[in-house]
Amino acid sequence: MRSSSSSFRARIAAALLASAATVGALLTAAAPAAHAADTPLRDLGAAKGKVIGTAVTGSKLTGTYGDIAGTQFGSLTPGNAMKWGSVEPTQGTFNWAEADQIVAFAQAHNQQVRGHTLVWHSQNPGWLTNGSWTSAQLSTLLQNHIDTEVGRYKGRIAAWDVVNEPFNEDGTYRSTLWYNGLGADYIATALTRARAADPAAKLYINDYNVEGVNAKSTALYNLVKSLKERGVPIDGVGLQAHLILGQVPSTLQQNIQRFADLGVDVAITELDIRMTLPSDSTKLAQQKADYKAVTAACVAVARCVNFTVWGFTDSDSWVESTFPGQGAATPYDANYAPKPAYYGISEALGGTTTPPPTGACTAAYSVGSQWNTGFTGNVTISCSGASLSSWRVSWTYGAGQQITQAWNATCTQSGAAVSCQNASYNGTVPDGGSVSFGFNASWSGSNPVPTVTLG
């Protein structure tokens, strides 16, 4: 499916001469949306020796979400699908459906998978957390879980977050089912077992608030040092990087470097940068600078091998539900248009991009649900610093798609050429506003996203 990247050209809006009689303005718009002709992040990363990844939700890997996930990223992390509570909700009854789906998608798109996560205090099944276990029983449960899950995906996982979030903020061990039942050596036990189950997978300890040099990251540093001295298998540390706007730690690169000097790889595993809603151009510009700074810190250290965002679109982020009033934390907006943050990553990876100009109206095409013979499409026309009193959007299908029905626009298709114009009631797109229309269409073979022209 990598070949689809050439056909996955983003939506652009062409120069548009508005009627002087109606809006009295010359609207020039050339907004490359999701990817335009820009080099995909995964290719930019590869040129720098970095694998660029995203967390994903398996059920969403179709349509535009799937296109972006498959085209832009070289690594996928299941956001929830590989957690113990997801894979073994009832003791002895396994549900691998979403995890299998993500691994299969990754293989089809020539992507790595980061396995997340084997040993954690959260998102465990009720039967496990509510049970009353002896240390021996707990140790057996832990080891069997690792054998089962790592063994199932043996050879298909590039790296496992074996242990997730073992520390408190002050650097002491977090009180968890595992620490309380087995002592700190549950970490060594888990790593050793994971190595035996899949010798090729890189084994990580992953935590948050360990991005800068601080008490917690120093505890992680000391743990890794001692594990290495003891000969316990440990290949890398994951810095989650759930950050707050304007608060990239000044010691990020120094911290990455000290782990590299210890002889382990480093991954940015869950990057997002949240802001107080609503977003505005000032906050988005700061967010771009922050994303760029984190990317640059990884680029600067050879052993920073993977740079993963925790969801690539604001429509698929944990932030809003966890921090009320906060959000817009990812590089793409909820309509799959790249935000300034996207260009921050791209620029730090050496990409040259053309961000959308200010004062323009743009049209963005996306595929919603898709089934074996048909799909529902959506086009959103948005204006910022400009406005429209009527509009026409056109595109050419590259794979035989055929529109069967449209709503909120009048669409005609002649051969591969489609032209849609506003209905009587939605020609006006005000400055700062948007208008959408939808359609049903048939497809077979492939369903690449066409380049759309507004004008």
CB-based closest residue to ligand G3I? 318
**383/432 Cα distance (integer angstroms):** 5
Nearer to ligand G3I, 208 or 443 (CB): 208
Element (H, E) at 146: helix 135-152
Nearer to ligand G3I, 79 or 331 (CB): 79
Q: Check if the beta carbon of residue 82 is closer than 8 Å to that of residue 46.
A: no
The CB density around residue 185, as the number of other CB atoms within 10 Å, is: 14
Question: Interface with ligand G3I includes 315 (CB under 6 A)?
Answer: no
Angle at 285 between CA 282 and CA 290, to 5 degrees: 125
Nearest-approach distance from CB 34 to ligand G3I, in angstroms:
22
Question: Interface with ligand G3I includes 53 (CB under 6 A)?
Answer: no
Active site residue 270: yes
What residues from 61 to 90 belong to the interface with ligand G3I (CB under 6 A)?
A: 79-80
Number of residues near ligand G3I (by CB under 6 A): 9
Question: Interface with ligand G3I includes 122 (CB under 6 A)?
Answer: yes
Q: Which of 98, 211, 270, 347 is the catalytic position?
A: 270
For the window 353-392, what string marks contact with ligand G3I as x by the rule CB under 6 A? ----------------------------------------
Angle at 44 between CA 317 and CA 1, to 5 degrees: 70
Nearest-approach distance from CB 240 to ligand G3I, in angstroms:
5
Question: Interface with ligand G3I includes 270 (CB under 6 A)?
Answer: yes
Nearest-approach distance from CB 8 to ligand G3I, in angstroms:
26
Nearest-approach distance from CB 222 to ligand G3I, in angstroms:
22
Q: Identify the CA nearest to 268 among candidates 86, 439, 55, 27.
A: 55
Could you tell me the two tokens for 257? Answer: 């470097």
Nearest-approach distance from CB 206 to ligand G3I, in angstroms:
7
DSSP string, 187-256: HHHHHHHHHHH-TTSEEEEEESS-SSSSHHHHHHHHHHHHHHHHT----EEEE--EEETT---TTHHHHH
Question: Interface with ligand G3I includes 129 (CB under 6 A)?
Answer: no
Find the binder of ligand G3I among 5, 240, 295, 384 (CB under 6 A). Answer: 240
Q: Check if the beta carbon of residue 271 is closer than 8 Å to that of residue 245.
A: no
Question: Interface with ligand G3I includes 59 (CB under 6 A)?
Answer: no
Question: Interface with ligand G3I includes 333 (CB under 6 A)?
Answer: no
Element (H, E) at 404: strand 402-407
Nearest-approach distance from CB 348 to ligand G3I, in angstroms:
23
For the window 189-218, what string marks contact with ligand G3I as x by the rule CB under 6 A? -------------------x----------
Find the binder of ligand G3I among 6, 123, 137, 444 (CB under 6 A). Answer: 123
Q: Identify the CA nearest to 307 among candidates 279, 349, 340, 275.
A: 349
**71/35 Cα distance (integer angstroms):** 9
**49/18 Cα distance (integer angstroms):** 46
The DSSP code for 107 is: H
Q: Check if the beta carbon of residue 378 is closer than 8 Å to that of residue 388.
A: no
Question: Interface with ligand G3I includes 314 (CB under 6 A)?
Answer: no
Q: Which residues of the chain form contacts with ligand G3I (CB under 6 A)? A: 79-80, 122-123, 164, 208, 240, 270, 318
Active site residues per annotation = 270
